[in-house]
Amino acid sequence: MSDPFPIPVPARLPDSISPCPIVEAIFELRFTTTETWATLPGLLYALIRDKYRDQRRLPLDHVPEELRKDSAFTHMPLLQFLSPDFLIQLGPRVISLVTKSNAYPGWPRIKQELEWLLGEIKKAGFLDEGERLGIRYIDFFAEDIFPNLLLNVHLCGQPLKGSECQVATVLRRPPLAMRLIASNGAVVKVDGVPKSGSILDVDAWFGALDFDVFENGVKRFDDAHLAVKQLFFGLLREEYLATLNPQYP
Amino acid sequence: MMTLLSSDCYHLHEGLSDEVPSSEVHRPAPNEAAQEELFLQKLGARGWGRIHQFRNYYGPGWGEGQGRSLSPRAMAAFCQFLETATFPSGCLPSVFLTDRGGLELCWENADGKAVQVEFTSEGAEYYLEEGEIESMVSHAKMKALAEQLSAA
Amino acid sequence: MPVPPEENIVRAICSDKWDGERIAPSLFVGSDTSVSRLAIIPLEEHWNLFRSYVEKPPERILMLIGEINVGKLQEIGRKHKSAVELTVEPKPESRNLAHAEIPQNITRGLANKICPELKLHHPPS
């Protein structure tokens, strides 16, 4: 199952579009550790507390550890650390940097924060081995996105139009794997107000053998970001992109 | 299991959400189904079950306190090896978890001589009873190693 | 003072190292391998002793106890193509006064010579 990547890479990619559709971007590292959950938050917080003062326990942290052993919970965060621009989420085997809702600061700022965070993780010394390095971008559009995409759904030979629809597929650009979800039946909160529309949800990741956290972790995040960006702009119809005020470098 | 990043920043309209949960249907993460099938096919139910246990129930400090949990790199190398490897007819290899978090695969060749590979975070160490050969290769050589040992 | 060759030693074999058909060679691979002396604590008492600190049911279960004579172990080490002088050094612990270690590095090839010589004991019914 190794077909060529079906989405052509655009000749040029915008630096930004307006309005920015990114609701949330998550940059995640899964890892193994010899530390227990009891010590992990302290090891990290000691190094990040100047920037990330506040903490918040997530609902799963209230579940007894014995019940959290189910594999469904292995990579879920239990704790959040907050700063003005980002969240850091931490679990027994996962750490992620998350942008604030509907406040995407741009890739250069994110990359800077990732470089800093990986440096602090290295100092903390709890990361034994990387298991998965991934990013997830969730974009929201206030309209039905399908007519604006180079993605057509057909039913009995006829284009499927006007129905609530969700398409999910896994695409591979070795060594990267990417899961794309497009749906025109989603609800997000914008400034606290629920809004109905469409989402493009792309999750791209490297497996354990394809990255080394401290040797090329930032580069891999960079590679994944570029691949997601190429997929996103490769999927949009040109005429629709023109309506989004693309700013080119 | 390569589950996807979690986010709760959106939810789907009622019509697209799973209204009636089904315990019969499990949507695996990408590649998970193929991997499970690989384990069952090459290692049988016994080997498949043991890998599930090693992945999910052997946390850091297992055993007498020094056991390391299963290395993701060892696991990935093991899967790459298994995709190409073939075993003598009727032979189901054994799989073990080593104290340093590696996966150890053991079987006998057609002449009944032991063939063993330990997949670690650094590479793969192998042993051939025939000739008493001990050596190691990097992760990049998993397919070649599988071809070599399948013919051993 | 190393354990004399007349003594027999045992090693716990849990479910991660025994699948019902084969023993993992990694049971002995490496250095500082933990063993226990039957001259200090008899075999029958080793079952509960080992269970108290190596078992974690339902996942990790004590399946077998493997026994070998120290002299036999040393002979195997000497006769190996890369000969190694194996010793068993007493290292009593509060949880196991019979605890000892084989400090020397045992390669996979050597471990493959040791494992077939183990006398395997099954749990008493």
- Give the tens place of pLDDT for each residue, A135-159: 999 999 999 999 999 998 888 998 8
C26 located within any domain: yes
pLDDT band at C111 (very low <50, low <70, confident <90, very high): very high
Whole-complex ipTM: 0.90
The pLDDT assigned to B21 comes to 66
- Residue written as token pair 């471990």: C111
Strands (E), chain B: 10-12, 94-97, 103-108, 114-119, 124-128, 133-137
| A82: enclosing H helix or E strand | strand A79-82
Interface of B with C in 63-122 (CB under 8 A): 63-64, 92, 94-100, 102, 104, 106, 114, 116, 118
The answer to whether A177 and A224 are in contact (CB under 8 A) is no
Measured between CB atoms, which of B57, B63, B94 is closest to C22? B94
The pLDDT assigned to B76 comes to 96
Question: Domains of chain A: which residue ranges?
Answer: 22-242
The answer to whether B58 and C60 are in contact (CB under 8 A) is yes
Measured between CB atoms, which of B5, B6, B30 is closest to A170? B30
What tens digit of pLDDT does each residue of C23-79 get?
999 999 999 999 999 999 999 999 999 999 888 877 789 999 999 999 999 999 999
Which chain A residue lies closest to B55 (C-alpha atoms)? A71
- Residue written as token pair 């060529």: A4
* Average model confidence (pLDDT) across chain B: 89
Q: Do C108 and B134 touch (CB under 8 A)?
A: yes
When divided into structural domains, chain C yields a total of: 1
- Model pTM score: 0.89
Kindly report the nearest CA distance between residue A188 and chain B, in angstroms: 5
B23 located within any domain: no
| Mean pLDDT (whole number) for C96-102 | 97
| Mean pLDDT (whole number) for A54-78 | 84
Tokens of residue B10, six digits? 């959106």
Sign of the alpha-carbon dihedral angle for B35, B36, B42, B47? positive
Task: Determine the Cα–Cα distance for residues C66 and C35; give it in Å rounded to an integer.
Answer: 10
Which chain A residue lies closest to B100 (C-alpha atoms)? A34
Tokens of residue C48, six digits? 């509960």
Task: Determine the Cα–Cα distance for residues A79 and A61; give it in Å rounded to an integer.
Answer: 7
**Contacts C30 to B, Cβ<8 Å:** 99-100
The answer to whether B139 and B73 are in contact (CB under 8 A) is yes
Which chain B residue lies closest to A132 (C-alpha atoms)? B2
Which chain C residue lies closest to B93 (C-alpha atoms)? C22
The pLDDT assigned to A171 comes to 93
Backbone φ and ψ of B107, nearest 5°: -155, 180
The pLDDT assigned to B2 comes to 43
pLDDT band at B1 (very low <50, low <70, confident <90, very high): very low
Q: Is the model's pLDDT at A19 over the cut of 90?
A: yes
Question: What percentage of chain A has pLDDT greater than the value 70?
Answer: 98
Which chain C residue lies closest to B53 (C-alpha atoms)? C59
Q: Answer whether B129 touches C (CB < 8 Å).
A: yes
Which residues touch A83 (CB under 8 Å, ≥6 apart)?
A51, A52, A53
Kindly report the nearest CA distance between residue C17 and chain B, in angstroms: 6
Query: Do you find a cis peptide bond into C2, omega within 30 degrees of 0?
Result: no
Q: Do chains B and A touch (3 or more CB pairs under 8 A)?
A: yes
Counted across chains B and C, CB pairs separated by less than 8 A come out at 65
The pLDDT assigned to A3 comes to 64
Residues of the domain holding C67: 8-121
Q: Is the model's pLDDT at B5 over the cut of 80?
A: no
Interface test with B, best of A32, A35, A170, A215 (most B CBs within 10 A): A32
Q: Do chains C and A touch (3 or more CB pairs under 8 A)?
A: no
Query: How distant, in Å, are the alpha carbons of A148, A191, B16, C13 from that of A187?
Result: 19, 13, 11, 55
What tens digit of pLDDT does each residue of B99-132 get?
999 999 999 999 999 999 999 999 999 999 999 9
Phi-psi region of B26 (alpha: psi -120 to 50; beta: other; left: phi over 0): beta
Interface of A with B in 88-107 (CB under 8 A): 96, 101
Kindly report the nearest CA distance between residue B110 and chain A, in angstroms: 32
| Mean pLDDT (whole number) for C103-109 | 96
The answer to whether B51 and B43 are in contact (CB under 8 A) is yes
The answer to whether B99 and C111 are in contact (CB under 8 A) is no
How many other C-beta atoms are found inside a 10 Å radius of the C-beta of residue A151? 17
Measured between CB atoms, which of A28, A33, A189 is closest to B5? A28
When divided into structural domains, chain B yields a total of: 1
The pLDDT assigned to B26 comes to 66
C27 located within any domain: yes
Q: Answer whether C22 touches B (CB < 8 Å).
A: yes
The answer to whether B22 and B61 are in contact (CB under 8 A) is no
Task: Determine the Cα–Cα distance for residues B3 and A46; give it in Å rounded to an integer.
Answer: 29
What tens digit of pLDDT does each residue of A171-217 get?
999 999 999 999 999 999 888 888 999 999 999 999 999 999 999 99
B80 located within any domain: yes
B75 located within any domain: yes
What tens digit of pLDDT does each residue of B26-72 get?
666 777 888 999 999 999 999 999 999 999 889 888 887 888 999 99
The pLDDT assigned to A65 comes to 79
Q: Answer whether A26 touches B (CB < 8 Å).
A: yes
C78 located within any domain: yes
**Contacts C11 to B, Cβ<8 Å:** none
Q: Is the model's pLDDT at B24 over the cut of 80?
A: no
Residues of the domain holding B40: 31-150
Measured between CB atoms, which of C16, C59, C107 is closest to B96? C16
Interface of C with B in 65-124 (CB under 8 A): 81, 107-109, 112
The pLDDT assigned to C108 comes to 94
Task: Determine the Cα–Cα distance for residues A88 and B48; give it in Å rounded to an integer.
Answer: 35
Instruction: Single out the residue of B67, B146, B138 nearest to residue B107, CA to CA.
Output: B146
Q: Do B76 and A209 touch (CB under 8 A)?
A: yes
* Average model confidence (pLDDT) across chain A: 93
**Contacts A103 to B, Cβ<8 Å:** none
Q: Do B10 and A140 touch (CB under 8 A)?
A: yes
Sign of the alpha-carbon dihedral angle for C15, C21, C23, C25? negative
Q: Is the model's pLDDT at A73 over the cut of 90?
A: no
Backbone φ and ψ of A236, nearest 5°: -80, 140
C3 located within any domain: no
Q: Encode chain C in three state secondary structure.
A: CCCCCCCEEEEEEECCCECCCCECHHHCCECCEEEEECCCCCHHHHHHHHHHHHCECCCECEEEEEEEEHHHHHHHHHHCCCCCCCCCEECCECCECCEEEECCCECHHHHHHHHHHCEEECCCC
